[in-house]
Amino acid sequence: MYFPATEGCRDVHNYERLNRIDEGQYGVVYRAKDKLTSAIVALKRLKMEKEKEGFPITSLREINCLLRCKHPNIVNVREIVVGSGMDDIYIVMDYVEHDLKALMSSMKEPFKLSETKMLLMHLLRGVEHMHKNWILHRDLKPSNLLLSNNGVLKIGDFGLAREYGDPLKPYTPLVVTLWYRCPELLLGEKMYSTAVDLWSVGCIFSELLLNKVLLKGTSEVAQLDHIFTLLGRPSQRDWPDYDKLPNAKMIKFGRYSLDRYALLKEKFHFMSESGINLLKSFLCYNPKTRISASEALGHFFFKQHPKPSSSALFPTFPARSKGERRQLDTIPAPAPHNPLNDVMAEFTVDEYGTNQTKNK
């Protein structure tokens, strides 16, 4: 029996690396085998090369959040192992066969509605558990969601996750990958909470239905343009004082449609009224009235026919990570500085909703 608290971290050489799976901003992930038990695991090496003053805070947060969030729909951490050097530190996690983004990119058709409901329920259960434990993920997107051959979706990659509390404290708005970033973060809000994750859930929900990204901006300004074009311009009634957020002062809002959600309903014409209602609740401008994970799990959408699929009946797919390296995500990731301050000074949005460069 191995007791980490008294015996310390085991050596990474207890695992045999089989192949490289993926590389992200905060580490490299390998598929490996435990030499003692022959169990297949995911071995994530933490990036330490730029650290000169101890252990990176992002890795500490990731490990702490993962150890606190023990749930069937969150990737499980087995242990922390070390190599010969001070910068040779690994997180050992359960191996999960697929990431949702790579799987969807290989599919010609979207998931069936019953399968989408099952995946969304799994995602919401994981998000609900995180939020009940006072943890924000802050980077929910399909490439950070894992799907096992048992039909179980698991939330992974907690590199941007952090604890929050009550009362709220100001945090950086430069979180969440651009296509899944909520409007309050794009407008520079620092006092945010669980609602930022639920906007991302809404974007993932739409992507499961369409098998393509809903809001695909190339910059913060373009992303806001896509949001306002799809959902209409926000009003003081819908979202009080939105125009007082830091970056809102740098934007000249154009003439967007006042018929809220008309384009959204047209794009998802195949959805039931309850499905549209749930999607609207995720993509709600006002973070204070945006639906929570617990409320979403009780929504009538999941009780309607077709009912969510059973995990046991979910189709299986060949694991691309067994020897084949997944292509890196091309979605613009959160930048280390705020490019919005640079971009906003150069661009406005005209009355037709297009970007226009200011005359110098």
Q: Is the pLDDT of residue 118 over 90?
A: yes
CB 310 within 8 A of CB 112: no
pLDDT of residue 305: 92
Q: Residue 337: which pLDDT band, with cuts at 50, 70 and 90? A: very low
Lowest-confidence segment of 29-33, 142-146, 178-182, 347-351 by average pLDDT: 347-351
**Average pLDDT of the residues in 162-172:** 91
What six digits make up the tokens of 276? 């549209």
Contacts (Cβ under 8 Å, ≥6 apart) of 92: 15, 32, 41, 42, 43, 44, 77, 78, 79, 80, 81
pLDDT single digits (tens) 50-101: 656 667 777 788 888 988 889 999 999 988 898 877 778 889 999 998 889 9
pLDDT single digits (tens) 224-278: 989 988 998 888 888 998 989 998 877 776 677 767 788 899 999 999 999 999 9
Q: Is the pLDDT of residue 16 over 70?
A: yes
Domains of the chain: 4-94 (3.30.200.20), 99-349 (1.10.510.10)
Active-site residues, by number, are 139
What is the Cα 61 distance to its own chain's centre?
A: 16
pLDDT of residue 248: 86
Average pLDDT for the chain: 83
Contacts (Cβ under 8 Å, ≥6 apart) of 303: none
Q: Residue 153: which pLDDT band, with cuts at 50, 70 and 90? A: very high
Lowest-confidence segment of 30-34, 170-174, 248-252 by average pLDDT: 248-252
pLDDT of residue 1: 60
Q: Is the pLDDT of residue 339 over 70?
A: no
Nearest to 183 by CA among 230, 115, 127, 146: 230
What six digits make up the tokens of 11? 């050596």
pLDDT single digits (tens) 269-321: 999 999 999 999 999 999 999 999 999 999 999 999 999 998 888 877 766 55
